[in-house]
Amino acid sequence: MTSPRVRMVVLGLALTAGLASPAPAMAARSAAPSPTVEEQRLDKAVPQEILRRSGFDDVAPRLERELGDAHSYAQARRILVREGSALWRRAVDRAQGRGPAGGDLSRDDDRPLYWARLGMTREVRTWEPEFGLSDGQRASLLDQLERTSRGQTDVRYPHGKKGIKRILVTGFDPFTLDRDIRISNPSGATALALDGTVIRTAEGPARIETVVFPVRWQDFGDGTVERTLRPYLKKVDLFTTVSQGRVGRFDVERTNGAWRGGFPDNDNIGQTETIPVSDPASQPQWTTTTLPYKEIVAADTGRFPVYDHTEVTEIPAGGTTAVVRPDGPTEGSTARAGGGGNYLSNEIAYRATLLRDRLGLHDTLPGGHVHTPVLEFGAGNTTEVTDPQFVQNRVDIIAQVRSIITVAADVTFRK
C-alpha cells in the first residue's frame, strides 16, 4: 500500500517530467522489458572483441553508473542526451583521426559505434530505477538515445558563410548479423568518415553532414527518416542516401519502389506490404533519383565500377504477376522492387525522395540513392574480425563515395 505522501511525490515527479496526468506514474512500476534480439547478440564473442579492441567497451558500463545515480526521469533524459551525443562525436573523432584510437582496430571501423550503442540501449531497456518508469517514458528515453547516438541531432551547417554549399548523406548500421556477426557496413563507416568534412568543388567548398539509420522496419514505419530529414531538405543543396548493395560494384539507383519485400531486419522481423507513409491516398508507386547519374557513372571515381542501375520489378497495369523490367517501370504498374530491391535500402531511398517531392523540391534538389559494394573480408578469413584486405576495401569504398559526392556536387553547383 502506498501512502498519500509517497503518491504526491510520484505525481510531482511526473508533472516535472511533462506528463499530462498521473496515470503513467501509477503504471511506472511495471517490469522492464527484456533485451531485443539485436541487443542479445551483444554478449557473443565477436561484439565483445570489437568493443575491447576499439576501447568502446567502457561506454555501456559508464552509462550504467550514470543511470544508477539518476533520481528522476528528467535527470535520466539529460544523461541520455549527453551520453548519446558523446558516443556519436567519439565515433566520428575516431574515424577522422582525432584523439587516441583506443585500440588496434582501424579507425575507419563503424562497428564500435554500433555495438556500443546496443550496449547503451540494453542498459536503458532493462533499467529499473527506484522512482519507476512508465512504458512511454522508457520509449522516450530510448528514442533520445537512438537519435543522439546516430548524429540525427548533430547536423550543423555553418551560419552566415556565403558560398558554402550544404550536402546531407545518410548511412546504415551493419545487418545480416546472424549470417556473419563480424559484418561491417561501409555506408555507416562512410557517414563517420565524412561527417562535418568539407569537399572542394569547382564552384567552391561544400560541407557534408551525415546521419546513420537503424536496420529495423518498425523505426521506418514510425517515421524516423522523415522526422530526421524534413528539417534539412529545404536547406541543403544535395543529398544522397547510401547503403551496402552488390558485390564488386557501385550502383546509382534510378527508381525506388513503394514495396516492402519482407526480408528480416536486425530484430529478425520481416514485413511484406506497401511502404506505410502519411497520406497514403497520394502515395506514388515509384520515385526517381535527381542525382546527375550520367556524369557520376562516366567519372573516374575509384577502383570499383559504377552503374546507372535501372532495373525494377513490377506488376504491370491490369496484371497479377510480377515481372522484371530492365529499363524501369511501365505506366500504371505496381511496385514490387525498386532498383535497390525491396529492403530498407530501397525504402530509405523511396522515403527520402518522396519527402523531397512532397516538399516541392523535385526540380531543384538533387537527391537519390547510392549502393556501395559489399564489404568483403580477405580470402580465407572466416573467423577474424578484421584483416588487411577488409580494411583496404572499406577505406577504398569510403574514398569512392566521397568522390561520387564530389562529382555530383560539381555537376549540380555549376548549373
pLDDT tens-digit series, residues 271-282? 999 999 999 999
Q: Report which secondary-structure segment, H or E, holds 148.
A: helix 135-149
Please indicate, yes or no, if residue 325 is contained in any of the structural domains. yes
Both 350 and 275 in one domain: the answer is yes
User: Both 387 and 357 in a single domain?
Assistant: yes
Assess contact for 115 and 174: CB atoms under 8 A.
no
Residue 106: inside a domain: yes
The pLDDT of residue 30: 62
pTM for the full model?
0.92
Examine the domain organization and report whether 85 and 115 are in the same domain: yes
pLDDT at 159: 82
What pLDDT sits at residue 161? 66
**Over 90: is that where the pLDDT of 10 sits?**
no
Structural domain ending residue among the three candidates 149, 184, 209: 149
State the pLDDT at residue 415: 74
Pairing of strands 250-253, 323-325: unpaired
20 falls within a domain: no
Q: What are phi and psi of 210, to 5 degrees?
A: -135, 155
Q: Does some domain include residue 361? A: yes
Last residue of a domain, one of 115, 149, 183: 149
CATH number of the domain encompassing residue 179: 3.40.630.20
CA atoms within 13 A on the CB side of 385: 20
- Write the pLDDT tens digit of every residue in 331-343: 999 999 999 999 9
Which of 19-28, 102-111, 288-297 has the least mean pLDDT?
A: 19-28
* 62 three-class SS: helix
Parent domain of 312: 165-414
**Structural domain contains residue 284:** yes
60 and 207 co-located in one domain: no
Question: Do both 237 and 346 map to the same domain?
Answer: yes
* Angle formed at CA 135 by CA 131 and CA 139, multiple of 5 degrees: 105
Burial of residue 192 (number of CB atoms within 10 Å: 0-12, 13-18, 19+): buried
User: Is 223 within the bounds of a domain?
Assistant: yes
CA 54 to chain CA centroid, nearest Å: 21
Confidence at residue 81, expressed as pLDDT on a 0 to 100 scale: 98
CA distances from 315 to 7, 259, 318, 335 (A): 59, 11, 8, 7
Q: Are residues 257 and 286 in the same domain?
A: yes
Looking at the DSSP bridge assignments, the partners of residue 172 are 213
Question: Which domain-ending residue is among 88, 119, 149?
Answer: 149
pLDDT in tens, 348-368: 999 999 999 999 999 999 999
73/142 Cα distance (integer angstroms): 12
As a whole number of angstroms, the distance between CA 338 and CA 166 comes to 27
Beta-bridge partner residues of 239: 168, 367
- Pairwise pLDDT comparison (229 vs 6), residue with the higher score: 229
Query: pLDDT band at 29, cuts 50/70/90?
Result: low
Do both 409 and 300 map to the same domain? yes
Find out whether 249 and 373 touch, Cβ atoms under 8 Å: yes
Name 32's Cβ contacts closer than 8 Å, sequence gap at least 6: 125, 126, 127, 128, 133, 138
